[in-house]
Amino acid sequence: MTYFEEEKEKKRTKTTIHLWFGVTFPSLYGLWVNAAKASIVTCLPGGENIARIFGDFGRESASAFGCVRLGVRVLGFGRNDHVIDKEEFRFCWQKWIKAVVRPVSALIVVDVQNDFIRVIPPINRLLNEVKFDMVVYSLDWHPEDHVSFIDNVKDRPIHHTSEISSEDAQVNDTVIFDVNNDGIPMEQRLWPRHCVQKSWGAQLHDDLKIVEDSVLVYKGTDPDTDSYSVFWDNNKKSQTSLNEELQKRNITDVYICGIAYDVCVSATTAHAIEEGYRALLIDDGCRGVCDADIQATKERTTSSNGLVIHSSQVKSLVSGRDRPPVLAYKLALEISKKMKKK
């Protein structure tokens, strides 16, 4: 049988917790609910206890047990002697379990501006009903001569490898520029003129709720480089202030919504996962351009240990009542990476 056992009588000054990996991992529930009190961890029979830890996600996920076992193994605890000592347990609680049961959450509202499609109601409902630790609004903030505008396509040299000339280019085409005349190709998808700095179209939508103490992040400000992600520009030459702002607030989980699902939301979600955050993409809080690209965004997110969720699930996730095992595993992977760098 799988269990954790604290040898209270024999070793009062040094707690040893024995970790035995079995078919299931039922004792994790006992560990989590008693860890903060440092009380004796009991063995709770039956794999259903894991489902209790992870709420609805655990009951629906056939891989719940595997994710948790893998998470512990990724952290390297109990690998050689099947024993987690007191210091390892303290580290596990502070860096992993605590973040799973008490997440610090930010909502990132991507580019809900006047020039873009409306997706206001589900976002406003979240802002009214859910207490996020941080709310971020991103804004496309382009100069007049921005490289993404179709009417600026003739203002920069086209690279010789581009299959589309500046004369033939149309909206939604991808051309290849030689922006600096240095022979280095740069792909660019062409869009109508949008979100020009200080214009009406660049303002956040009038109907969008703006919460107090929120953070505004401006992107796409370099005339020669587009920036879909709220974290980085498309060439990853420079980053915005977002990552710094999230780290200052010890954010663990980012919930992402807005426009366009398969462009800026997609890029932001991918970079959030790359930067080590647990990313949750709010499906009904986004609108996109291409159905096939939207589906590809969902698949990339889930294959990278992110989640695609409905807005009705957000409140229980932010409060820590629902704890998806895949996010626990994602966090364990990130902690392991940091441990290896030291």
Is 257 one of the annotated active-site residues of the chain? no
**CA-angle at 183, arms to 177 and 189, nearest 5°:** 15
CA distance 304 to 308: 11
Annotated active-site residue in 264, 286, 298, 322: 264
Radius of gyration of the chain (CA): 24
Are the beta carbons of 119 and 112 closer than 8 angstroms? yes
Q: Is 177 exposed, middle or buried, given 0-12, 13-18 or 19+ CB atoms closer than 10 A?
A: buried
**Beta-bridge mates of residue 259:** 287
- What distances in angstroms separate CA 203 from CA 138, 180, 337, one per listed residue? 11, 31, 39
Q: Tell me the C-alpha distance between 279 and 307, whole Å.
A: 6
* Known catalytic membership, residue 264: yes
- Give me the sign of the Cα torsion angle 208, 209, 210, 214: negative
Of the residues 67, 140, 195, 219, which is catalytic?
219
**Which DSSP symbol is given to 93?**
I
Is 219 annotated as catalytic?
Answer: yes
Q: Would you call 270 exposed, middle or buried from its count of C-beta atoms within 10 A (0-12, 13-18, 19+)?
A: buried
Q: Which helix (DSSP H) or strand (DSSP E) does residue 253 occupy?
A: strand 253-259
Q: Can you tell me the distance from the alpha carbon of 115 to that of 273, in angstroms, rounded to the nearest whole number?
A: 28
DSSP H/E element including 28: helix 27-35
The answer to whether 174 and 263 are in contact (CB under 8 A) is no
Which contiguous run of DSSP H or E holds residue 328? helix 325-341
Distances (CA, A) of 260 to 63, 195, 266: 31, 14, 8
Specify the residue for token string 């009038």: 206
The active-site residue, picked from 67, 111, 226, 257, is 111
As annotated, the active-site residues are 111, 219, 264
